[in-house]
Amino acid sequence: MKFWLLDLRLAMRSVLRQGRRTMIAIGAVSFGVVAMILSAGFIEWLMDGMRESTIKSQLGHIQVVRPGYVERGTSDPFGFMIEGEEAARASVQSSSGVKVIAPRLSFNGLASKGENTFAFLGQGVSPAAEAVLSSSIRISRGRNLSAEGANEMIMGRGLADNLEAQVGDTIVLLTTTAGGSINAIEAPIVGLFNSVSKEYDDSALRMPIALAQQLVKVSGAQQWLVLLDRTETTDSKLEEFRKVLPASRLELVPWYQLADFYNKTRDLFASQINVVRLIILMIIVLSISNTLSMSVMERVSEIGTCMALGLTRRRILRIFVSEGLMLGVVGGGLGVVLGCLLAVGISAVGIPLPPPPGMEEGFDGQIMLTFDIVAQAMLVAVISSFVSSLYPAWRASRMNIVDALRQSR
C-alpha cells in the first residue's frame, strides 16, 4: 500500500510538471465526454418522446385482443371481435396503475368529397376513453369527438388535405361490412388532428365506436387498449393480467411488440451512438498515448536513474499507467460537469428542430440526463485512458538501464 501511494505521488508530480501537454490531453478527454453526453442525451430524449407519443396516440401500453389477431387480423379484421367479456374488462380496469381501457374498432374503405376519393384507415373509438389515452393526438382545427353516439368524425390533416376538406364538410364513407356487403354513411368533419406520424395522419379518421359499428355492422371491438400510469410497469402488469385473463379467449400484447417504426428507429440511433463512442474513444486513445509516449522519450534518463536506485519494472509500469488514468479521470470528471451544465442550459432554452422523417411537426430539442448516460461517458473516458497508457508504460518498463543512463550523459 505504501508503494502504491508513493507511485501515485510520482505520477501526479509528473502530470503536473508537463502543464501544456497535460492540459491538451485533459481537454481532449473532456471534449469527448461532453460530446458523448450531449449526443446520447439528445437521442435518449428523442426516443423517450417518440415512445410516449406512440403509446399515447396509437398503441396504448398493452393491447387485449383475440388470439391470432396480431398475425391474421389484417386479412380478417372482423373475425376476431371481442364481445361479452365484461368481467375480464372489469378485472383489468380495477387493477392499480391502470388509467383507462379504450375499445377500438378498426376498418378501412374509401372517403369521398366531391370528385376527390381516397382510401382511409378508420377507427371507431370511445371519445371519453380517448380523451385520456390519445393525449399525443392534437386537434389543430375544430374540436374532438364529443359523444359516444354522435354522427361525426375527426380526420388526419394529411387525409383532409388530399380530399380538400375542411371542418364542417360532410364526407361520404364507403366500406365493406363484416358480412361482405357494401355500406356507406355520410358524416361531418368536426375536427382535424395531427399525431406523431405523418403516415398515419395521411390516411386516418376517427368516429364514435357506435357509428363505426353501424357502418360495418358488428358489435364489440377488436382491441382493448390499456393505458398505464407508467411505461416502466408494462412487463409487471402484463404478467399480472395474464394470471387473471383467460388465455384461450384473450391475448395480451405489449406496446414494444407492435411499435415497429419506433424499434427500427431506436436501433438506427443506437448504432449511430456506438459510432460516436468509437470516434471519441479513438480521440482519447491517440491523445493520451501521444502524451505519455512523449513523456517517456523526455524522461529516459529519469527512468534509468529510478531503475538504478531500485525501482522495479513493475513499478515503472504502474507509474505510467497511473499517469494515464489520472488524465482520464480528471478529463472525464471535467467533461461530466461541463456536459451536465450544457445539457441543462440547452434543455432550458430549447433548440427548434425540423420534423424528422415520418413525423408531422418539429419540436424544441432537449437533452435528457440519466445516470446510465453519464456513467457510460465516464467509463469510456477511464477505460480508453487505461488502454492508451499501456503501450507507453510497457516501453518505459522494458527500457535497458545501461542505455538509459548512457543517454543521460
What are the tens digits of pLDDT across the range 349-369?
877 777 655 455 566 778 888
Q: Which of 143, 85, 128, 80 is nearest to 106 (CA)?
A: 80
Q: Which class for 276: exposed (0-12), middle (13-18), buried (19 or more C-beta within 10 A)?
A: middle
**Cβ partners under 8 Å of residue 68, min gap 6:** 80, 251
The confidence score (pLDDT) of residue 399 equals 67
Q: What is the dihedral of CA 186, 190, 192, 195, to 10 degrees?
A: -90
- Provide the 3-class DSSP secondary structure of residue 252: strand
Asked if 64 and 92 count as a contact pair (C-beta separation under 8 A), the reply is yes
Residue 338 has a pLDDT of: 93
What does the alpha-carbon distance between residue 296 and residue 396 come to, in Å, rounded to a whole number? 6
Query: Tens digits of per-residue pLDDT, 115-174?
Result: 899 999 999 998 888 888 877 788 888 888 887 667 899 999 899 999 999 998 999 999
Q: Which H/E stretch holds residue 101?
A: strand 98-113
The helix/strand/coil state of 1 is coil
Task: Report pTM.
Answer: 0.73
How crowded is residue 300: how many other Cβ atoms within 10 Å of its Cβ? 17
Looking at the predicted structure, is the pLDDT value of residue 9 above 90?
A: no
pLDDT in tens, 316-336: 777 777 777 888 888 889 999
Each domain of the chain, given as residue ranges in start order, spans 2-54+263-407, 67-249
Q: Determine what percent of the chain falls in helix, strand and coil, rounding each to the nearest 5.
A: 55, 20, 25
What 8-state DSSP symbol labels residue 56? Answer: I
Asked if the model's pLDDT at residue 405 lies above 70, the reply is: no
Backbone angles phi, psi at 394, to 5 degrees: -65, -45
**Choice between 214 and 150, residue whose per-residue pLDDT is larger:** 214
Beta-strand runs (E) in 197-295 = 204-208, 223-228, 251-254
pLDDT value at 95 more than 60: yes
Indicate whether 206 pLDDT > 80: yes
Written as one letter, the residue type at 342 is L
Reply yes or no on whether the pLDDT at 219 is more than 90: no
